[in-house]
Chains A and B, each alone.
Chain A
Amino acid sequence: MQLPDAEQLVNQLIAQLRPLAGPGTGLVGIRSGGAWLAERMHSALGLTTPLGTLDISFYRDDFSRIGLHPAVEPSNIPFEVDGCSIILVDDVLYTGRTVRAAMNELFDYGRPASIHLAVLVDRGGRELPIAAQSVGARLALLPEQNIQLNQDSSGRFSLSLHRVEEN
């Protein structure tokens, strides 16, 4: 399967988000892929509100089955969430469970005016009623396929496909 060029997708996504970017817009990336993308978007959109990152490990719904993620990092939302219009960024939208967790976490910081979801790739397979308003590319992938965002040392993005490892 021919994967789209991630750099091109990021630029498309930035163009889609430009009309939303105002002085009161908060940008939040979900660690790790979403946080990389959000960093790029933050400077490209010239946002003045500092960039936020979320590590959703404490909000996952599979904690009782698989335990705590081995490398939790602190979440950091360096702006007032109450009343803020937030763009939430992730690399891949799949089941919707990560976005559910991220929204729950955001609400523990305050009550945002709105949340707009932007993802680089929507691969289908939703298990929750969640949809992204801005999407770089829609791909139809099989359950045993895993798509991953990579960032090289110069900051360039690329996408790669892997087989899901059986447990």
Chain B
Amino acid sequence: MENPQLNQHGELRHLLSIEGLPAGIVRHILDTAESFVAVAEREVKKVPLLRGKAIFNLFFENSTRTRTTFEIAAKRLSADVVNLNIGASSQSKGETLLDTVDNLAAMQADMFIVRHGQSGASHLIARHVAPHIHVINAGDGRHAHPTQGLLDMFTIRRYKQDFTRLRVAIVGDVLHSRVARSEIHALNVLGVPEIRVIAPKTLLPAEVEQMGVHVYHDMIKGLKDVDAVIMLRLQNERMRGALLPSAHEYYKYYGFTKDKLAHAKPDAIVMHPGPMNRGIEIESGVADGGQSVILPQVTFGIAVRMAVMSILAGS
């Protein structure tokens, strides 16, 4: 089947999901991001690559951090950025998603960054827009959040270099997490030999093993000798459903404490996509400890988004 993310030359045209991306493209994004990290260390943190391009942040779902990092990334590429909080405007007046997109395209948009609660929303937009317009999925339902997956890979590579000797654990609410799906695909594409997911049965998708992961319900066993731990946010709204008995009990078994971290390799890195719930999925001592790379993740996220935008705009 034709991959909607690639053009006829096999170049990246839209970034919708890491699933199905050739490893060469993933590595090219990570390599390019290295150069953008260097740009961010300069006096002037901007390059003129996307001068004159109009990038629209289309957020149908709230997000401060992701939207802000996309906005900073676009501005550092010298693009013009327009932020649209759609939930509060047209959609509440009854406009359809594609009508909204058509109107913005008529305002000479060159790129859409899309966050939507429905899985597949950015695919729909990508299939609809004119050939010169690029779409980046900034999170769709439970499906994918590819730039988060990529920035996590960038972070792992920065601290651990070679992917092919690593053991990586993803801990928490995998069931509802588009971040976890993107990370699992990315880790597989880059050749990580052992990917573990650690979660209670109620927070794992059916047949998660099909994605090439090893499942652990016991966090201490799952963390044994891992090189990197990726924590997932426990969405508070899930606590009210029947999936978990209580926040207190969840923390006891799956909260990331210093005692549990001691079972990972001594130089293991700790990651979290944010926002964190301290005392629910992660202890402050771990989040702020010497092995935490949670804030570097945010910094690297800008460079990775600059890399994705400039590769798309140049295709």
* In contact, B38 and A75 (Cβ under 8 angstroms): yes
In the complex, what's the smallest C-beta–C-beta distance from B148 to chain A, in angstroms?
22
Q: Are B43 and A75 in contact (CB under 8 A)?
A: no
B contact residues around A108 at 8 Å (CB) = 42-44, 46-47
Contact A76 B314 (CB under 8 A): no
- Taking CB as reference atom, which chain B residue is nearest A60? B49
B314 contacts A68, C-beta separation under 8 Å: yes
Cβ contacts under 8 Å, A64 to chain B: 314
Question: B44 touches which one: A67, A68, A109 (CB < 8 A)?
Answer: A109
**Stretch binding the partner chain, chosen from B27-35, B153-161, B194-202, B239-247:** B27-35
- Cβ–Cβ contact A76 & B38, under 8 A: yes
> Do B34 and A74 touch across chains, with their CB atoms under 8 A apart?
yes
Q: A105's closest neighbor in chain B, by CB?
A: B47
CB distance from A77 to the nearest CB of B (A): 8
B311 lies within 8 A of A68 (CB): yes
Task: Tally chain B residues at the interface, Cβ within 8 Å.
Answer: 21
For residue B9, which residue of chain A has the nearest CB? A67
State whether the Cβ of B96 lies closer than 8 Å to any Cβ in chain A: no
A109-B43 CB under 8 A given contacts A58-B48, A63-B314, A66-B314 = yes
Find chain A residues with CB under 8 A from B32 CB: 68, 72
List of B residues within 8 angstroms of A155 by Cβ? none
Distance A113 CA – B310 CA, assembled complex (angstroms): 32
| Interface of A toward B, CB cutoff 8 Å | 55, 57-59, 63-64, 66-68, 70-77, 104-105, 107-110
The contact sample of 26 A-B pairs, CB cut-off 8 A, is A55-B35, A57-B35, A58-B35, A58-B48, A58-B49, A59-B48, A63-B49, A63-B313, A63-B314, A64-B314, A67-B11, A67-B313, A68-B32, A68-B310, A68-B314, A70-B28, A71-B31, A73-B35, A75-B38, A76-B38, A104-B48, A105-B47, A108-B46, A108-B47, A109-B43, A109-B44
